[in-house]
Structure formats: structure tokens, C-alpha cells
Structure 1
């Protein structure tokens, strides 16, 4: 009774003494401002503006655990002084090799009537805002509800991907982030799926563009999304569905206090700022080890066009020869290799590949009994003992890495399973590619051996149904602004041949642009050796020398779902890649003066969309480019000394 009376008195005092005090934190350039306060209902609220215009209106913060409510009836809001966080780090792959993260930070604290505390860590940087929760203590916890919301003004627009309902789709393998984005829809429009909307979620507001996602997953928290309904444009954190867990594993976040949640991230700015943001890796845990043996690169891959029947000894030998001819370091051997080829003959293939300076990547089924898939090897990675025995065998055979498929969703036990696989694979110097999967969420910084994750409606879907081929150009033009902003994406790009039973709606110029436009530590190229032999030698030469780790990246032009043009630098060589997803030509004036005076090459479509044309191009402040409908191009500007040779 005394405690309740004390808080009643404190409540009156706060109200009488100016309760509802607001705290602010600004980015170093002063453009982005976050305001945090306790409202009259004693709920934590925050809002965000950029250049004085609203990005988020008053939105909610808070957590509810099984044994405590840290979202309502809160008291005693305090704030630390603002400090700067500075961190420099290096990535093995992606849009920017060396990153200098600079952000301003304040830590806030509130408590409920039982004196149970909640900390909110707030960071504001030039490219956005990040928020995470901390709950001190020393007892077990389980998250019941997270109250975080993102309230967008009613005149904002949204680009959102529905979450697939768990246990639907092929062999009950959903969800796997493989739906189409709904483009330019009103905020507040309900998801067509009861599972909600996935991250990253893109919005256009009066204060600029905002891309919402999460990072900093240590295996103790579930993966989150947005709830299906957003009344008044207020989107709330959503949760994995009940089946999204490994057998016998946890669904929601649980463990021993102290609790530290993932970061809730809102990248903010114009489209170049969004596309160039490194917030997800900035906020991920540092690398567990340096892993100097990690080598990103391109791979040949038979399954994309030739499917299951291609996974045999002779075909894989041809694809090893193909990779060697192209100068690519890897060949990916897909499903059922253990049955169709066997471990002993895979070891022979690995030896054959090694003599040609190529290494093998092998497919695995992650699944236990959580879906109906039958592809093998299956259930070989479920326990640490199984994994380490399998990985030791692969290492002895000289295998470079693994592709692991068919995960059950976003439950806490699944997020932990990803990390367990990566940790054990690293011990045996194995690269990892996750398919049928969730988002990377910065894990490729923490585990440099994580080369890529699918988490996209990629090329294989085009081979399945005509409607996917029909939608491909706009879909491809959407991805540089959403899915691929924050992590490697195994779209498996680039086909110049015709696709059996499918009418392709992308030109050869567009297909050529994709391995530069899309970011992935492993680029598994879909075209076959026979198809590649039919294109001009200068195209093969270009594809044989594409980096997958870039020193610098810039968005030069674009709009979500319409077109995208990016510039990427490796060393002193610049690559420019552009695609047009629309059914009409687009004329552009590109400012390439940042490269300096150089002469390079331009490769685009010839007289038909199935041909190529090459010409000379010079840098400048207004380089004219016409991208035909559903087409694309590449430019390459070598280092000045190389260009003269």
C-alpha cells in the first residue's frame, strides 16, 4: 500500500512539476531529430523529423515480459548525456569494404510501479535512427509482447512485402521472404496475409524516405516483422507464427536476464542515402573471428536451368570446366548429390576442380520434420555433433562451402540455429549460403563466412511460372531499394538463353547488369556454359572479372520498382550498372564526374533484346544514356593506367 501511495504522490508531483518532459537527440548534421517522452497515459512515445518535417509521428515504445509490464504505467524517465559512438570496421563483401560508423547516443531509463527497469538505447546518425531495449536482472524471462510502433502520416506511401503464412507453399516450406512487394500503396492498407509484412519495409514521408528493419541478432531473440493491420498508418512490431521454430525449440525470445533486444532501425533520407546506408552492419555484433580464408566470388550452377537431373557426375564436371574457363572460383552442386553422385565421387570432383583452381559448394537440407521436403542430404545438420562430423568430412575433401535450404521461419530457436551452423562451419573454414530463409540482419558482419542468403523471389521462380517472368523487370528494379539494401541477396542472376517453357521479358543488357546491381558474396550465375559460349567474347570477359566485394557504392538514379542505376568501385575501377523495369524507354543524364576524366566501355542491347552492342563512353557531368524498356546496361571504367594499356 505504501508503494502504491508513493507512486500516486510521485505521479501528482510529476504532473504538477511539468511532467511529460521531452528529450531530444540529433544527428551530427542536425538534420534528423528524435524526440522521446512519457505521455499523459504514462506510455513511452517517440517521434522523428528530418529537416523539420515529420518522418514518424508519435509512436510507441515498450516491452511486456511474462512477469512484468514495461510498456504502461511507467515513471521516472531519465536520460544520459549525449555521447558519440565511433567504430571502424571492414567487411569481406558488399557495397562498402571499409566502414566508419559515427552516431550520437543517449540512454533512457524508466521503471514500472514494481521498480522494474527498462532502458532504451537511442542512436541517431546521418543515415537514420536505431533503438534497442535493455532489461536488467538475473532471472529467466520470456517476451510476451513488444510495443514498438512506427506511425506514419496518412499522406505517406508504402512499399511492403506480405509475409507468407507458415506451413504453406511448396512442401510446407513457407515463410521464406519470397513474395512480391506491394508498391506505392497507402499507409495503413492491411496486409493480404495474416502473417503481416516483412522487413525491410519502405515508406515515403514528408521528411524523406524511411526503410525499417532490424539487426543485432544474438540468437536469444526471435525475428520480427510488422503486424498485418496498421490503423491510422501506425505499424506495430509483429511476431513469427506458431510453427516457425525447430522441433522442440522456442518461438518467442526467452533466456536469462539481462535482456538486450535487437536494434529497431529506420534508415532515413533521400534514396541515395537509403541505398548506401550501412546501418544493419553498423549495429551488428563485430566479427567473431577475422576469417582471412573467406574468398567471395562467382560460381557456375547447373540447377538453375537444368534442375534436378543435372546433379550427376558428368554434368557437374562440365560445370567445373565452365567455371574454370570463366575464371570463376566456385561450382555449386545442388540437391541429392549424396544420392546421385555420392561422397566418394564428390571427393573425386573436388580433386578435379582443384586442379583447375575451382572449388565446390554443396547443397544441404536444413530440415528435420518441420516441412515435407525429401531432398538430401537431409537432417545432417540438426545437432552440433552431426554438424561438426559432417563439416570435418567436407573439409578433408577440400569442399569450399555449403548451401543450406528450407528453414522453418523466424522463431528464436531458428535464429539460434543459423548462428550455430555459421559458428561450426567457420571452425572448418566453410563458406555458407542460406536458402529458403529469413533475412541476413547483419549476420554477414558477425560471421564473415556467411556469403549470402536467398530471402527473395529470385530467378528460380522465373523458371517455374510465366507470371514470375512477366513481373521480373519491375521486381528486379524494386530490390536495390529494399531487400538488397541491408544484406547479401542470392538472386542467382543472369540468363541470356531462353528458359524452357517460359517467355523471358528481360533483355540481355538487363541480365548483364544484375551481378553488379545485386549484392551477394557468392554470385551463383544461372546461365549454362553452352549458353555463355553463344555471347560475344567481350561479354564473357566482362563476366569473368566482376568483383563481389566493393570499396564504394553510389546510387546514381532510380525509383523503387521503376529503374535503378548504381556505381560501384573496386580498387580504382568503376562499374556502372543500370536497369529499367518499366515498359517504356527511359532517358537519363548521369553525372559521372566523380570518377574523373576516363574512357571506358558501354555494353547494352543490340538491335534486338537478345543481342549485345559495345561502344566507347567517356565520363562527364552529363553522360546521356537511354535504357530501353525492360533493358539495362553496364559501363566499366578501368584505372587510368590500365585504360592506357
Structure 2
């Protein structure tokens, strides 16, 4: 079903032809805060400015194909077209807003070789893409672009050199002039200019084409793409046998007449400006599901760590009917929508059979009686090779969603899998969570049954490393979450201070305080949030669990309050007339005041607050719950412990 489009204010067309000698073409954002100038000479380049400041340049923009370069060298312009759009979009899944304002000015340059470059300039960023009009199939040898920033700028991104990347590298922060030749990383990548302005690399509408990465060239950052695979790992198991060991000498074979992915640059004067950016969603194609009303976001409880940590029960925890029913009872008790069987439920490598001791028909029937839906974990390799048979069996069992893991690639073939799996799962009314996955690219707008995905260091890393720390938590909202929903898995009750943290792969401990871990359920944006701990831990901590599982996963509005990448963040989200306000800090204890001027006038609100306890600096599980009243304009005063947090439900 196409998105509901409201209040189309203006769509203006200007057409100029025969501008063969045009050199510089200017276009600005609707508020005129961002200007873009395209230069057409030996090649096509453009520069982006805010006010009098040059933010960055992109040089030598072209496709290298078996049909030649697009645009040709020394390109000639056939015509120029300009559009202006101002409208409201009602998304199927409300990640940030019930309605999204879409406002941009557009420039489409058609060259004599019939190729086009399309530019859109928004008030919070710019985007460009190629459009070709060649008969038959074309081979894309490479796509070129050189990204020029002030050398004193900093880049924050997942540095990686692995064609079989799991997209779970830590974010590094370096000056661009400190990058060595061939340094590489994937998107999103945030560049902070010397004046502290933010430029976040993203992409959208990634279909039948490999993901964009960044590589440091001889002088500047350059576009990089992984070549099309030729050979895969011959041994191994379903988690790694699709790993690439050799490739062809091209990045894609595709239709010669098509539009290509959008290259997106989100721009923010302040760090908090990034929190509201939705360019990846807006630049994606519209929804292809005729009636998406069956898609249900929600909380998930699952058995991966939980079955290793259950206590106080009279059965042996494991992958069996009794354990599953206990976890389903927990979901029903707290209004949790989904229960997920993670790795281990299949008989060998057959997705249509379960291991002994697990009766899927009986478990799903029991879950249905409790108004709980069941999801299943699968690997990319097994699901891709058994997709139709697996989905038919899942439908017979009554399964409502799947978690697809260990894709660990972003070449053209892997990208095609995302589109095929999203489309096929939609036919069977199943939602999806991708793990071992590259970052969101707009697919969730086309197939909103794609609720969330990984592409980050998330809570599970706490079992084997110190990478998932409060500094990381204070980085994710400004970079990874701007691309789209992320399956971080917030809300652990096993909390550790910096000195008290311990690694345990069977029962991970989260770094930061109890209030910090609960606040992450508001700060980390995802229409599908998962609880990591054993259900018996949540029963023990019923006061926290009740609050946590009532936090919505869809929102009508977001209001950024304060933030600095890597240091701290505070924001408010509204669902109906109820606000949730959350704030976290890194390992630095700090004080913060939040002005509650987003509340309605002449209205008294009640607030349920969870904050750091008096001794949370030495015992991270220490917290305090309090009830108080607020009115518009009041200040919420926060005293953070190291790795601390604060979260409030504010309601009329």
C-alpha cells in the first residue's frame, strides 16, 4: 500500500533545454541554509556549503561500466529540471514521528549520453544518485566519487577491511589526516568539521547493488564497493559457508535502465540535530505491501541467554517445551508481544524440523492461547537455500517472525537476499530482524515487516569484551540509529560499574547503572526491542520490569534535549499524550538540567522516575524510583553516577 500523502503544498517544475555550455548550477535547501553547486567540466563535481562555510566537496562523480563512463568524460548537458516538494508522509511504522515532513528542492541534470544525475537538497542534508537509460544489462566495474573535507575534520566510523564483515566493529574517532592510505570503513560515517558541524554519510534505496564503503585514497576519502562474489568457503557450517574467498572484477551486473542508490549526507549544526534526521527513510521507495496492518511491532523475550540463567523453576532449562512455555507465560504476564527461539531449535540443518523434546505445534498453540507470537532464529545460508519450504512450514506452525543471522556480507548478491527475503516473508505475514547485517538502507519503508536489524556492537558483546560501554551507548544514537532501527537489546538487570564489570558469555553483565540500562530502552530506537536477561531475573526485579515493558516501541514525536557524541544524550519521545524522557552519560559523572517545555500548557503531569541510587557508583544495580509532579517549563535535575542514567514516564 502506498504511503498516505498529506498536504501537498507545492510541486513546481522549471525546465531549461539546450544548456550545453552550462558550467556551474546552483540549488539550495528550502530554508536556504544549505547550498549545493554542481560543476560540469571535464567531469562532474559538486560542493556543499552552509552560510559562508564550505562543508565538503565531491569530485569526479561517475559510473565506470562496460558501456563506458556515465556521465561521459567532458559531458554535455542536454537539459536541466528543477522541482520543489513540500508534503507530509505518514509512515507505516512510527519510528520517530506519526508524520514526517518531507521538504526539498531537486535538480535533475540530463546529459547528452542520456544519463542523469539527480540531486535533492533538504534543510537537514543532501543526496544524489545516478539514473541510466541503456538497453539490456550493464556491468558496473566501479562507481567513483572523491569526498574532500578539511584535513582537520574528524571521522567517526566502524573501521573495517573485511569483505565478510559482520558490521560489528567499534566506532573509531580520528582526524582525517591521520588516516593511512587504504584505511577503510563502512557506513554510517560521521565527519565533524573544524567548526563542529556534522556530516553523516548514509545511503538509501540500495537495491540490486552493493553497499557503499569509504576508503582513504592517495589524498582523500573515496567510494569503495566489494566486487561480485565468485567462490565461497568450501568447508565450515551454516554460519560461515557463504563467506567469500574470491571475486569477479566488477561490482555489479544490473539493468541498464534504472535509478541507482541514493548517496546521502545528513547535515547538522548541532550533534542533536542528527537525532531527528530521516533522510534514509524518505529517500527509499514507497511501501510495496498492499495491506501492512498485520505488521505488529513489540517487545521480545527470547531464550538465548535466558535458558542459561533460569532459576527457581522445577524443570531443566533448555530448548524444550517446558522452558518455552515458562518464557511464554512471562511474556503474557508483562504484555510482551513475542517469544523468540534463538539458535539451537532446528534438527541439524533442516529448518522444517525441530530437535527432540521440542514440539513446535504445541508450543505455538500454547503461545496463541496467551496472546503471544512466536519467532524463530535462522541462518542466512540455511534460510536462503530452504526459503520457500521453511516459510511454508513456519506458516503451518503459526510462526509470526524470523531473525536472520550471519549474513556478514554487503555485495550485490547479499543485498539481493535482503530484498528477496523481505518480500517472501511479507507474503507469509512474517516480521524480520536481521543480524550479522549491514546498516539500514531504506528497505524497511518498502517492506515494513523489516522491523529492525543489528549492524552494531550490541549487548551480547558484554559476554566477551568491554566494547559495549557507556561511551559506545552515547555514540550510537548520533550515528547508527540515524540510518534506522537498531537491535541493541536494552534493559539488562545485571548491571556493572566500570571496575565491577565482569565478562560472562552465559549471563552477560551490562556496563552502566540500572537506570542507564532502562533509559537505553527509550534512547535506542527500534520497533522491536528485545530483553536480554533470564525471565527469572525480571520476575525478581518486577518493579523495573513493569516499567520497562510498558515503554512503547513506536512513537508520535521525538524532541532532542541535549547531547554530545560519545559523552551524553537526553531526549524525549511522545506516544499519544504520554512522554518518556531519558538521559544517559558516559563514565563521567555529571549534572544535567532538562527543561520540560515540550509539555502542554496549563496541564499538570505525574512522573514515574527511575534514577541512579545514592550508591550506584559502587553498586550499579542501585536505583531509586520516585513519583513527582511536573508542569510545562519545569526543570528536571539529574545527578548522574559514572555510567549513569535517568528515565521518566510523564503522563496526564
TM range, normalised to the smaller chain? 0.7 to 0.9
Change beyond 3 A, Cα 1:488–1:255? same
1:184-239 residue CA offsets vs partner (Å, 9 max, x unmatched): x20243369x6721101101123821111100122x21111111x1454x321111
- Report the equivalent of 1:33: 35
The verdict on how the C-alpha distance between 1:26 and 1:535 changes in structure 2, with shifts beyond 3 A counting, is same
Alpha-carbon distance in structure 2 between the residues aligned to 1:547 and 1:504 = 22
Of 169, 176, 180, the match for 2:170:
180
State the shift of 1:120 in Å. Answer: 0.4
Asked if 2 retains the 8 angstrom alpha-carbon contact of 1:164 and 1:177, the reply is no
- Give the corresponding residue for 1:529: 535
- Retained in 2: the 8 A contact 1:23–1:37? yes
Query: Could you tell me which residue of structure 2 aligns to residue 567 of structure 1?
Result: 572
Aligned to 2:463, the other structure's residue is in SS state: helix
Q: Secondary structure at the match of 1:150?
A: strand
Secondary structure at the aligned position of 2:414 is classed as: helix
How far apart in 2 are the matches of 1:238 and 1:51? 30
2:216 maps to 1:217? no
Are residues 1:517 and 2:523 paired? yes
Match of 1:618 among 630, 633, 637: 630
Aligned with 2:474: secondary structure? helix
Give the TM-score normalised by the residue count of structure 2.
0.85
Q: Does 1:606 align with 2:622?
A: no
Partner of 2:336: 328
* Equivalent pair of 1:49/1:56 in contact (CA under 8 Å): yes
Equivalent residues in 2 for 1:115-514, closer than 5 Å: 116-166=113-163, 174-183=164-173, 185-190=174-179, 196-205=184-193, 206=195, 208-218=197-207, 220-227=208-215, 229-232=216-219, 234-240=220-226, 252-269=251-268, 270-289=270-289, 290-306=291-307, 310-339=318-347, 341=355, 345-367=359-381, 379-382=382-385, 386-465=386-465, 467-468=466-467, 471-497=468-494, 501=504, 504-514=510-520
Counterpart of 2:293 in 1: which secondary structure? coil
Alpha-carbon offset, residue 341 of structure 1: 4.0
**Structure 1 counterpart SS, 2:272:** helix
Distance 2:357 2:149 in 1: 55
What is the CA-CA distance between 1:429 and the residue it aligns to?
Answer: 0.5
Three-state SS of the structure 1 residue aligned to 2:512 is: coil
Query: Deviations for 1:484-504, whole angstroms, at most 9, x for unmatched residues?
Result: 112111111221126763665
Hey, which of these two has a bigger chunk of helix by percent?
1
Contact 2:98 2:555 in 1 (8 A): yes
Question: Partner of 1:10 in structure 2?
Answer: none
Q: Does 2:105 align with 1:104? A: yes
Deviation at 1:312, TM superposition (A): 2.9
| Structure with the bigger percentage of strand | 2
Alpha-carbon deviation of 1:310? 3.6
Aligned equivalents of 1:132 and 1:142: distance in 2? Answer: 17
CA contact (8 A) 2:380 2:406 kept: yes
For 2:133 and 2:20, how far apart are their aligned partners in 1?
28
Compute the RMSD of aligned alpha carbons.
2.5
Query: For the structure 1 residues 202 and 380, does the alpha-carbon distance in structure 2 shift closer, same or farther, using more than 3 Å as the test?
Result: closer
SS across alignment from 2:155: strand
CA positional deviation for 1:303: 0.8
- CA displacement at 1:128 relative to structure 2: 0.6
TM-score normalised to structure 1 length: 0.86
Check 1:343–1:20 CA distance in 2 against 1; reply closer, same or farther (3 A cut). farther
Deviation of 1:311 after TM superposition, in Å, equals 2.8
Give structure 1 stretches of 5+ with no counterpart. Answer: 1-16, 167-173, 368-378, 641-645
The superposition leaves residues 433-486 of structure 1 with CA deviations (integer Å, 9 ceiling, x where unpaired) of 111111221111110110111111111111123x33xx5111111100011112
The count of aligned residue pairs is: 586
Tell me the CA shift for residue 18 of structure 1.
11
C-alpha change, 1:72 and 1:617, in structure 2 (3 Å) is: farther
444-453 or 248-257, which deviates more: 248-257
Q: Where does structure 2 lack aligned partners over 5 or more consecutive residues? A: 1-18, 233-241, 310-316, 348-353, 496-501
SS of the residue corresponding to residue 314 of structure 1 reads helix
In 2, Cα distance between equivalents of 1:126 and 1:472: 33
Q: CA deviation at 1:59?
A: 3.0
Q: Is 1:541 matched with 2:549? A: no
Q: Is the 8 A contact 1:557 1:565 kept in 2?
A: yes
Inter-CA distance 291–91: structure 2 relative to 1 (3 Å threshold)? closer
**In structure 2, how many angstroms separate the alpha carbons of the residues matched to 1:505 and 1:547?**
23
Deviation at 1:75, TM superposition (A): 2.4
3-state secondary structure, aligned to 2:135: coil
Distance 2:142 2:370 in 1: 54
For the residues of structure 2 that align with 1:226 and 1:618, how far apart are their CA atoms? 47
